[in-house]
Amino acid sequence: MIPAVEFGLIYGVMALGVFLTFRILNFADLTVDGSFTTGGATAAVAILAGWNPFLAIGAGFATGFAAGLITGLLHTKGNIDGLLAGILTQIGLWSVNLRIMGSSNVPLLREDTIFTPLRDAGLMGSWASVGIFAAVVAVITAAIVWFLNTDFGLAVRATGDNGPMIRSLGVSTDRTKLITLALSNGLVGAAGAVFAQYQGFADNSMGVGLILIGLASVIMGQAILGQRFLWLSVAAVVVGAVLYRLIIFAALEVGLNPNDMKFITAALVVIALLVPQWRAAIGGAIAGSRANRGRTGDGGGAGAGGAVTPNTAASASSSNDPAQAAGTTDGKVKA
């Protein structure tokens, strides 16, 4: 279970990158599958070349940043649809990653990584390592919340909400898209660099299907915690990533075939997308039912409070005394 939480926290950094494009920028960026591997491949080669493992993570961030920048340029300057731009970059990165690594796999089992001190101290696979991972991810989460509350971050959020409106105010949406796509894939590349060091190798297929995992993390987390506040929306992404890994861990523990994991991931995304709609539909039905009961109660109260009923009218009309029929005594209306 602890390794699943550690995996989830690493994936949480990747999911934060997906969150920036998918939720904030409203941009379906498929570069993620390639930039994750690019970051891992760059870090692995850098470590083999004698780089400090932390600098290798910085190199992974830089190459991921460059990949996102390419997607942004294709979209903003080349006028290519965002979805297609991401696919083109992702396909190109497959060959680029092979060039970086020189093969389809680069082992790091005998190299020092950022996790070597934890392993030497016997902390890997313990709640102490989970606490360290969580603290680092919390700092990254806080940095993203801070960024989105800056003037530029507000412009990015406005670009995703209403691009034409923010352009009418003189803000360059091309600039906000370029920088956000680059930052997003930079985070994904850094996550790939950490992941390669965690598992002890970089592989050209390590990023396949990762966009689905990122979307599952974003959608599941926000379906559970909601999006009422910005900081809650960002934190929900990390929670969703950890929850996703725990669900996969539980599925493997009960004996499900590992080949079914992609199907399970797709099913989780579908459920997470449908749950908010079901919740809204049920809430609307309950509210409508209460409103109908309220109207029925008001109508019954009016009848009991003195409205003329058929029986009363018939009784009054059958009386021979006009004053009594009119509800009066001695020709005067009762007080």
**HEC string for the chain:** CHHHHHHHHHHHHHHHHHHHHHHHCCCCCCCHHHHHHHHHHHHHHHHHCCCCHHHHHHHHHHHHHHHHHHHHHHHHCCCCCHHHHHHHHHHHHHHHHHHHHCCCEEECCCCCCCCHHHHHCCCCCCHHHHHHHHHHHHHHHHHHHHHHCCHHHHHHHHHHHCHHHHHHCCCCHHHHHHHHHHHHHHHHHHHHHHHHHHHCEEECCCCCCHHHHHHHHHHHHHHHHCCCCHHHHHHHHHHHHHHHHHHHHHHHHCCCCHHHHHHHHHHHHHHHHHHHHHHHHHHHHHHHHHHHHHHHHHHHHHHHCCCCCHHHHHHHHCCCCHHHHCCEECCEECC
pLDDT score recorded for residue 262: 81
Q: How far, CA to CA in Å, does 47 sit from each of 42, 44, 110, 160?
A: 9, 5, 11, 38
Only one residue has tokens 């929850």, namely 243
pLDDT score recorded for residue 270: 86
Only one residue has tokens 């009054």, namely 316
Q: What is the spatial distance between Cα 304 and Cα 103, in angstroms, rounded to a whole number?
A: 86
pLDDT score recorded for residue 298: 61
pLDDT score recorded for residue 198: 93
* Residue among 184, 182, 189 at smallest CA distance from 206: 189
* Torsion region of 226: left, alpha or beta (phi above 0 gives left; psi -120 to 50 gives alpha): left
Q: What is the mean pLDDT, run by run of 10 residues, along the chain of 335 residues?
A: 89 94 92 94 94 95 96 94 93 94 89 89 86 94 95 92 88 92 96 94 89 88 84 92 90 83 84 78 80 69 47 44 43 38
Buried b (16+ CB within 10 A) or exposed e, 204-226: bebbeebbbbbbbbbbbbbbebe
Residue 268 CB burial class (10 angstroms; 0-12, 13-18, ≥19): buried
pTM of the model: 0.80
pLDDT score recorded for residue 75: 94
Per the CB < 8 A criterion, the answer to whether 184 and 29 are in contact is: yes
Per the CB < 8 A criterion, the answer to whether 75 and 89 are in contact is: no
Q: Which amino acid is at 158?
A: A
Spatial neighbors of 80 by CB under 8 A, at least 6 apart, are: 74, 88
Per the CB < 8 A criterion, the answer to whether 159 and 171 are in contact is: yes
